[in-house]
Homo-oligomer: A and B are copies of this chain.
Amino acid sequence: MTALRINGARLLERHKLMAGFGETGNGGVIRPALSDEETSARLALLNLARERGFACSVDPIGNLFIRRKGADEGRAPLRMGSHLDSQIPGGNFDGVYGVIAGFEVLETLEDHKVASDAPIEVVVWNNEEGARFSPTTMGSAVHAGQLSLDKALGSFDQDGNRLGDELARSLTQLGPLKSIELGSESLAYVEAHIEQGPILEQNEIPIGVVTGIQGIVQFEVRITGEEAHAGTTPRSRRKDAFWAALDLTAQLRSVTADKDDAIRFTVGRLTVLPGSPNTVPAKVAFTIDLRHPDEALLASVHTQIYQAAETLQTPCEISVITTLNSPPVCFAAKVISSIERQAAEVGLDTARIASGATHDAKFMAPLCPTGMIFIPCRDGISHNENEWADPEHMIAGANTLLGVITELTRAKPT
């Protein structure tokens, strides 16, 4: 038998179709979760699914499931997917690529009349970005029982719209959908996604075999000094909160400088108060975002951050709180090796890579064998209208996904 390949032209056509929903005119989209723009994108995909005779379902938090039947409908479905919502504004690849690649796999199997033993589903997770409603990866978290449905439905956007109401409004526009319960069993979960970092591109590797999602710890540091007149107060009499922040962040930057450049340490938000050019700052608050794939290393740096804050020589007071502590997730060896095998079968180089960003796959990992396929993106840029992935890599990733799905469901031509 000739090796099965996806229809690249169709994949790119679907990609272009999706890019029209919420198009900004600057190369990106504004397509927040449950907005009219995202609802239109979801409806367009559902209509394509209905044309192919795929069953369409929705769960109570608004995750969509597009199902191609398996030879044995009693088996749990193998799932693929990602999300259609975007940052505000966002690019045309983050999320949407995993959805259309998954849908292309279903269509390819259909085109070639390939029967899988288990059913195969494309999932469109609700509100992955968290740009409109908090928190991020909401749909998969609720699906996996890691976030309460009521809490999620009760989330409000900045304009005071309740997610539950916006979901109901969106669903009325999507046509008939079956209901599916939360946390239904999956045979496996595979998500294709752009890397959102520079490593694959830099090393000219078309397929990243994702080993897991690195752990993330976030902190809020508050420093309290004393306001003073910038012209009259000698340095020796100042309690300058900014100087304390400077010393602390410099020390932490040094602590987190590792030889293999794997620790991600970011001070992304920092405010200085009162913020007057001629007043010595009395208050500084800043965030720390710390990530690494190794839980023990994270715990060690975690401790060092608290120690540095405690032992810093300063006349100011420093408080540190941990606002998020999400341990690393490891993907299934079975899926990892399948991705490597299938990429090789297509003739593609691979490299193992840890995901720096979080994804819906994180919540699927405890439920079933889970993995992710990364494709390179230009300059590592994401969450940005300039986000870009090569058509060649999009096709390569979808062919790899097709191979993995075929392998895991023992799909064969009928």
Contacts and interface: CB of A to CB of B under 8 A. Distances in A.
A236 B202 CA distance: 12
16 contacts: A196-B229, A197-B229, A197-B231, A197-B232, A214-B231, A216-B231, A229-B356, A230-B264, A235-B257, A236-B261, A242-B249, A246-B253, A266-B279, A269-B276, A270-B275, A279-B383
Nearest to A290: B230
Interface string A147-168: 0000000000000000000000
Contact of A268 (B232, B263, B280, B356): B280
Given A196-B229, A268-B281, A280-B266, A246 B250 contact: yes
B380 A232 contact: yes
Interface string A192-224: 000111110000000000000010101000000
Nearest to A202: B237
Copy tally for this chain in the complex stands at: 2
Given A267-B281, A268-B276, A269-B275, 12 more contacts: A196-B231, A198-B232, A230-B266, A231-B291, A232-B356, A232-B380, A246-B246, A246-B250, A267-B272, A268-B280, A268-B281, A269-B276
A280 B381 CA distance: 12
A277 B270 contact: no
Interface residues of A, number: 58
Contacts of A281: 267-268
A349 to B, nearest CB: 20
Interface of A: 195-199, 214, 216, 218, 227-237, 240, 242-243, 246, 249-250, 253, 257, 261-272, 275-281, 287, 289, 291, 355-358, 380-384
A362 to B, nearest CB: 12
A235 B250 contact: no
Contacts of A195: 232
Contacts of A272: 267-271
Given A232-B356, A250-B250, A253-B243, A218 B266 contact: no
Given A268-B281, A281-B268, A234 B246 contact: no
Nearest to A384: B227
A230 B266 CA distance: 6
Contacts of A267: 242, 272, 281
A388 to B, nearest CB: 15
Contacts of A271: 272, 275
A233 B268 contact: no
Identify the interface centre among A277, A289, A291: most chain B CB within 10 Å of its CB: A277
A268 B278 contact: yes
Contacts of A270: 242, 270, 272, 275
